[in-house]
């Protein structure tokens, strides 16, 4: 079990004696030395893109801290009050207690506005950094075995982060968030069979009722954070068990991790980075206002301001609603089928389902059951990268469509033109992005191959004795070359009959998926090719 | 455990044996197993940093880091000072701005000082070259796995979970049914009434005056000039018990056109009064207020999802995701010349819902 730290022969200073005694006290009660031994010198590889997940984690901590402060003052109630705070333009106006307490936090509590803005900016950063972190993991193939489950947990965290964002910005019960809830209500009502009742139960009666803010509040400050914290815990635990991926580099292999140890290098960098993230959020929050609810005023079902925008991460869903062509609603069997709502819900559902299950799909296609710890350079998996680019384009078009009215007014275009362009882009954009990306990847792979074999063009032109001009190619060092030649290469699946001599449908499906993925491939340079190219050059 | 890579550089070049350690080799699937790979060149020779070589630079960097930490202390103290030095004076927006700005800048300095200092310390002064740690397959060792299987086998044997199928199946059945009460419990999230009935009626009644939103003053037909638009609520709505819920259904937009510009369908001939028409302001798409009225074209635009309705053609949808026209409120004038409703809306207002037709 526990081991008592052995005493050195040398005399110790008072500080050392105290540290030793304290460590001993704790270890004899917790056996913590085992944990320290296990993780204290764990190695973390270094790359700027590995910080994106850290930004997400740290902004979440900032959200917890600032949010806790806000709960001490916020009143999650829709009871009608007359505002009597110090913001003159709204004095005497009827509003909910939620809105009034939000105004009090902003205008009557020192640092209250700062904390509200820290909370909101940190939330925006939280969702953004999770999104970028997911893109990094996707494009480098870091979701492959053994990390498929951790990808899925990360995906769940992304959805939860958006849910936190939406429940959070609905709380002040201002005009903008009220209209957001109105849209949610309308969407829910459009769901076949259960929609009307779900909306009725959610709002505790007819929209907007007097319950929704307190209900969202309990989700926002208790249920969702609890699930997020648990999911982050599992996410981190699996990270420690799987160890971090690393990019290919000299000396780095699939069975080692190269980087700095937790104690002290990584801890100092990561700990310091937490303070930097917190500091930058505070700097933004103290200089840029966000969600000025006092400008919007309290919720009223009748007015709405032009150019209403949801927070950016909800944009893709709002855009999907906007891009539905006219007339997608019908009555069958005496019921109303709102395809203008069902279609976006189904399409978005499919989209996020593909995101959630992509690692399992790719694993099925490659049939590769080995562990992968070397992160791919995106170009070395051209089809995956192209699919990613198509997905990003699809998301980006939906997202841009959520600002269709602002695009139209800012660039002096007709709203119809903007919507029709977005509709066309939604279908053709991903296809175009797919093909361009795939070609660019293959082109880059060819270039890598060329450079690995023949070196790079030095720009030095030499005239040979017999009059020929050549450009001298500088060879790479073996360290530089390693990055270009070490990647996993796949070829399409060959269909073979099974034991009964039959070719199953699943086999055919997998073969065609495999052909789609790996038909165009550039093989990595082999040692023999390098030897040959050396002979050619000399 | 981590090693200094000087010791292990030779062995790490060997390749992909992470899965070995006792487990059966895993299929590489359609991966091309290279036979003639370019060998891993091993680690780059270590290059010392300037702080490793020059004790003067080392000392200078140390001072720099501690300066940053001191700066952090200054920032935190300034934040406390700012809290008191820039109080919020009721009604003075500039004081709120100053309080936020200077408190925030102080805290920022306090945080960034620690952050930048710690990162700089790590980069410039802590042990600088990469260390190496070996990976082991994620899969447990064969021995561990055998033990785990034994645990389950014993558990199964001792409990008879696999053998006593009656027990097992009834238990699974019971577990599936237990959450049912929880689902039923949520019924009272909303009042007892049926939502469908509520959605079909609004606050409007026969003879109720049209009044301005939000003041509630009644409107005379003569108040409206051609092309003008009024935001309207029913008389008495401001004093009703469920003001906001009722307003979310009863909000109306009142517009006056030239009577000859209106295309009136059969049965609606007397729903307008001398070119004055009233339409529900709640979008038939997802319920946003259709708030933007274009005077020249008599089009209504919903700012949320850009559905457009043509007032001249009984608010028919001319663009956007909405399907149904905005419901029309039949109106007329009373003996004093005030605009009144002839009845409630004849169809449900607002977003579509499943039971709308019934």
**Domains defined along chain B, listed by start:** 3-9+22-132 (no CATH), 201-341 (2.102.10.10)
Other CB atoms closer than 10 Å to residue A533's CB: what's the count? 17
Best A112, A118, A185, A200 member to test B by mutation, with max B CBs in 10 Å, is: A200
Q: How far is CA A469 from the centre of its chain?
A: 52
- Distance, in Å, from the CA atom of B172 to the CA atom of B161, rounded to the nearest integer, reads 11
- Given this model, what pLDDT does residue A538 score? 53
User: What is d(CA A33, CA A24) in angstroms, rounded to the nearest whole number?
Assistant: 9
C-beta pairs of A191-196 under 8 Å, 24+ apart in sequence = A191/A341, A191/A342, A191/A345, A191/B354, A192/A335, A192/A337, A192/A342, A192/B354, A193/B354, A194/B354, A195/B353, A195/B354, A196/B195, A196/B196, A196/B199, A196/B353, A196/B354, A196/B355
Q: Give the pLDDT of residue B52.
A: 85
Residue B1's nearest CA partner among A267, A41, A265 is A41
Q: How far apart are CA B142 and CA B330, in angstroms?
A: 81
Q: Which structure tokens are listed for A272?
A: 């310091």
Contact B191 A205 (CB under 8 A): yes
* A to B CB pairs, distance under 8 Å: 409
Shortest Cα–Cα distance, A135 to chain B (Å) = 24
pLDDT of residue A12: 81
Q: Do A201 and B247 touch (CB under 8 A)?
A: no
Closest residue, chain B, to A488 (C-alpha) = B31
Rounded-to-integer distance, Cα A181 and Cα B240, Å: 23
The interface residues of chain A toward chain B in range 215-274, judged by CB-CB distance below 8 A, are: 241-243, 250-261, 264-265, 268-269, 271-274
What pLDDT score was predicted for residue A140? 96
What are the chain B neighbours of A328 within 8 Å (beta carbons)? 321, 323
Q: Which of the 8 DSSP states describes residue A128?
A: H
Packing angle of the helix pair A339-366, A148-170 (nearest 10 deg) = 160
Q: Do B88 and A85 meet the contact criterion of CB atoms below 8 Å apart? A: no
Through-space distance between the first and last CA atoms of chain A, rounded to whole angstroms: 65
CA-CA-CA-CA torsion sign (A415, A416, A417, A418): positive
Residues paired with A332 in a beta bridge: A335
Interchain contact A207–B (C-beta under 8 A): yes
Nearest to A183 among B41, B242, B288 (CB): B288
Cβ neighbourhood burial of A227 (10 Å; 0-12, 13-18, 19+)? middle
- Nearest residue of B to residue A343 by CA position? B321
Tokens of B20: 């070995």
Kindly list the distances between the CA atom of residue A144 and the CA atoms of A152, A373, A387, B95, B153, in Å, as whole numbers in the listed order. 11, 8, 16, 54, 32
User: Closest chain B residue to A308 measured between Cα atoms?
Assistant: B304
Chain B residues whose beta carbon lies within 8 Å of the beta carbon of residue A209: 245
Asked if A193 reaches chain B (Cβ–Cβ under 8 Å), the answer is: yes
Nearest to B304 among A179, A303, A327 (CB): A179
Q: Which helix (H) or strand (E) holds A258?
A: strand A256-261
Stretches where chain A sits below pLDDT 70 are 1-9, 537-538
Q: Does A88 touch chain B (CB under 8 A)?
A: yes
Contacts of A183 in chain B (CB under 8 A): 286-288, 304
Tokens of B314: 């009984």
For A256, the closest of B133, B231, B321 (CB atoms) is B133
Q: What is the residue extent of each domain of chain A? A: 1-39, 52-246+261-298+307-376
How close does chain B come to A66, measured CA to CA in Å?
13
Say how far apart CA B19 and CA B27 lie, in whole Å.
11
> CA-CA distance, A262 to B2, in Å (whole number)?
10
A530 neighbourhood in chain B, CB within 8 Å = 38
Whole-structure pTM value: 0.92
Residue A220 near residue A339 (C-beta atoms within 8 A): no
**Average confidence (pLDDT) per 10 residues, chain B, 358 residues:** 40 38 72 86 87 90 96 97 93 91 97 96 86 90 95 94 93 95 91 88 92 90 87 90 90 91 89 91 92 88 91 92 93 92 92 85
Chain B residues near residue A359 by CB distance under 8 angstroms: none
CA B98 to CA A120: how far, in whole Å? 19
Q: What is the phi/psi pair of residue B134, to 5°?
A: -80, 145
CA dist., res. B225 & res. B205, Å (int): 26
Calpha distance A73→A94 (Å, rounded):
19
SS3 state at B107? helix
Average pLDDT, chain A: 92
Whole-angstrom distance, CA of residue A474 vs CA of residue A70? 62
Residue A138's pLDDT is: 97
Interchain CB distance below 8 Å, B287 and A182 = yes
pLDDT value of position A308: 77
Provide the ipTM. Answer: 0.90
User: Whole-angstrom Cα distance, residue A278 to residue A267?
Assistant: 16
Beta carbons of B339 and B209 less than 8 angstroms apart: yes
Taking the CA of residue B331 and the nearest CA in chain A, the distance in Å comes to 20
**A36 shares contact with chain B (CB less than 8 Å):** no
**Burial class of B166 by CB neighbour count within 10 A (0 to 12, 13 to 18, 19+):** exposed
- B303, B324, B354 ranked by CB distance to A405: nearest: B303
Contacts of A328 (CB under 8 A, 6+ apart): A338, A339, A340, A343, B321, B323
The answer to whether B308 and B297 have CB atoms below 8 angstroms apart is: no
Distance from CA of A56 to the nearest CA of B (A): 16
Of B108, B242, B251, the CB nearest to A302: B251
Geometric angle at alpha carbon B338, from B336 and B343, rounded to 5°: 115
CA B210, B213, B215, B221 torsion-angle sign: negative
B177-192 CB burial, b ≥16 within 10 A, e <16: eeeeeeeeeeeeebee
CB contacts of B216 in chain A (<8 Å) are none
Burial call A303-338: b when 16+ CB within 10 Å, e when fewer: bbeeebbbbebbbbbbbbbbbbeeebbeeeeeebbb
Q: Residue A6 has what pLDDT?
A: 52
Nearest by CB: B100 against A268, A286, A404 = A286
Residues 390-419 of A with CB under 8 A from B: 404-405, 415-416, 419
* R_g over Cα of chain B: 38
Selecting from B109, B115, B287 the residue whose C-beta is nearest the C-beta of A273 gives B115
Phi-psi region of B238 (alpha: psi -120 to 50; beta: other; left: phi over 0): alpha
Which class would CATH give A52-246+261-298+307-376?
mainly alpha
Kindly state whether A149 is in contact with chain B, defined as any CB-CB distance less than 8 angstroms. no
């Amino acid at each position: 079990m526990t081991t008592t730290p052995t005493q050195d022969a040398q005399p110790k200073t008072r500080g050392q004696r105290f540290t030793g005694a304290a460590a001993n006290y704790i270890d004899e009660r917790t056996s913590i030395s085992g944990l320290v031994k296990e993780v204290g010198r764990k190695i973390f590889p270094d790359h700027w893109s590995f910080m994106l997940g850290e930004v997400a984690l740290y902004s979440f901590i900032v959200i917890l801290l600032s949010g806790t402060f806000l709960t001490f003052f916020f009143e999650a109630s829709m009871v009608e009050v007359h505002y009597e705070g110090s913001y003159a333009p709204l004095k005497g106006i009827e509003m909910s207690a939620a809105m009034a307490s939000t105004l009090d936090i902003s205008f009557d509590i020192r640092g209250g506005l700062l904390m509200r803005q820290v909370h909101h900016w940190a939330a925006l950063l939280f969702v953004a950094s999770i999104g970028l972190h997911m893109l990094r993991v996707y494009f480098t193939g870091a979701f492959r075995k053994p990390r498929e489950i951790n990808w899925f947990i990360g995906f769940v965290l992304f959805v939860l982060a958006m849910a936190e964002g939406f429940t959070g910005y609905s709380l002040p019960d201002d005009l903008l968030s009220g209209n957001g809830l109105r849209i949610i209500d309308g969407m829910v009502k459009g769901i076949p069979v259960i929609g009307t009742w779900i909306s009725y139960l959610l709002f505790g009666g007819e929209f907007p009722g007097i319950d929704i803010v307190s209900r969202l509040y309990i989700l926002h400050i208790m249920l969702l954070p609890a699930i997020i914290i648990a999911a982050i815990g599992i996410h981190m635990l699996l990270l420690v068990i799987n160890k971090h991926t690393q990019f290919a580099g000299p000396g780095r292999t699939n069975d080692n991790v190269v980087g700095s140890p937790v104690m002290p290098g990584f801890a100092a960098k990561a700990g310091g980075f937490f303070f930097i993230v917190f500091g930058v959020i505070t700097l933004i929050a103290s200089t840029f206002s966000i969600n000025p609810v006092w400008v919007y005023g309290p919720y009223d079902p009748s007015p709405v301001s032009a150019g209403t925008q949801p927070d950016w991460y909800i944009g893709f869903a709002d855009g999907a609603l906007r891009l539905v062509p006219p007339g997608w609603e019908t009555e069958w069997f005496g019921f109303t089928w709102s395809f203008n709502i069902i279609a976006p819900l189904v399409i978005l559902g499919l989209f996020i389902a593909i995101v959630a299950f992509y690692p399992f799909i790719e694993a099925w296609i490659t049939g590769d059951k080995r562990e992968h710890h070397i992160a791919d350079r995106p170009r070395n998996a051209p089809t995956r990268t192209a699919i990613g680019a198509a997905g990003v384009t699809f998301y980006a078009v939906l997202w841009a469509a959520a600002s269709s009215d602002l695009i139209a007014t800012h660039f002096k275009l007709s709203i119809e033109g903007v919507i029709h362009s977005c509709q066309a882009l939604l279908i053709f954009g991903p296809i175009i992005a797919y093909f361009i990306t795939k070609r660019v990847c293959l082109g880059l792979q060819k270039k890598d191959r060329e450079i690995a074999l023949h070196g790079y063009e030095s720009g030095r032109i030499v005239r040979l004795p017999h009059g020929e001009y050549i450009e001298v190619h500088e060879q790479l060092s073996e360290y530089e070359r390693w990055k270009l030649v070490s990647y996993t290469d796949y070829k399409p699946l060959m269909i073979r009959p099974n034991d009964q001599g039959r070719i199953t449908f699943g086999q055919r499906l997998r073969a065609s998926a495999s052909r789609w993925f790996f038909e165009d491939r550039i093989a990595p340079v082999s040692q023999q090719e390098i030897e040959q190219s050396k002979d050619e050059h000399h | 455990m981590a090693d200094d890579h000087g010791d292990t550089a030779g062995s790490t070049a060997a390749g992909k044996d992470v899965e070995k350690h006792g487990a059966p080799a895993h299929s590489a699937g359609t991966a091309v197993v290279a036979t003639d790979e370019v060998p891993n060149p091993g680690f780059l020779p270590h290059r010392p940093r300037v702080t490793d070589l020059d004790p003067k630079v080392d000392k200078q960097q140390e001072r720099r880091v501690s300066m940053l930490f001191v700066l952090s202390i200054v920032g935190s103290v300034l934040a406390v000072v700012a809290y008191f030095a820039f109080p919020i004076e009721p009604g003075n927006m500039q004081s709120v701005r100053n309080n936020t700005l200077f408190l925030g800048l102080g805290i920022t300095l306090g945080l960034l000082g620690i952050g930048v200092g710690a990162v700089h310390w790590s980069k410039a002064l802590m042990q600088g070259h990469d260390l190496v740690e070996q990976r082991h397959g994620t899969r447990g060792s064969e021995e561990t796995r055998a033990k785990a299987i034994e645990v389950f086998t014993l558990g199964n044997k001792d409990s008879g979970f696999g053998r006593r199928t009656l027990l097992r199946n009834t238990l699974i059945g019971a577990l599936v049914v237990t959450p049912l009460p929880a689902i039923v419990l949520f019924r009272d999230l909303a009042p007892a009434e049926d939502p469908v009935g509520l959605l079909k009626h609004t606050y409007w009644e026969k003879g109720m005056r049209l009044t301005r939103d939000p003041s509630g003053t009644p409107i005379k037909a003569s108040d409206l000039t051609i092309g003008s638009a009024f935001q309207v609520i029913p008389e008495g709505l401001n004093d009703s018990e469920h003001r906001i819920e009722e307003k979310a259904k009863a909000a109306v937009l009142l517009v006056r056109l030239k009577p000859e510009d209106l295309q009136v369908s059969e049965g609606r001939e007397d729903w307008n009064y001398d070119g004055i028409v009233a339409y529900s302001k709640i979008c038939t798409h997802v319920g946003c207020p259709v708030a933007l009225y274009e005077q020249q074209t008599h089009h209504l635009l919903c700012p949320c999802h850009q559905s457009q309705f043509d007032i001249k053609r009984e608010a028919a949808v001319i663009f956007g995701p909405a399907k149904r026209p905005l419901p029309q409120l039949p109106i007329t004038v009373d003996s004093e010349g005030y605009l009144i409703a002839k009845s409630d809306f004849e169809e449900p207002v607002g977003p579509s819902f499943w039971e709308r037709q019934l």
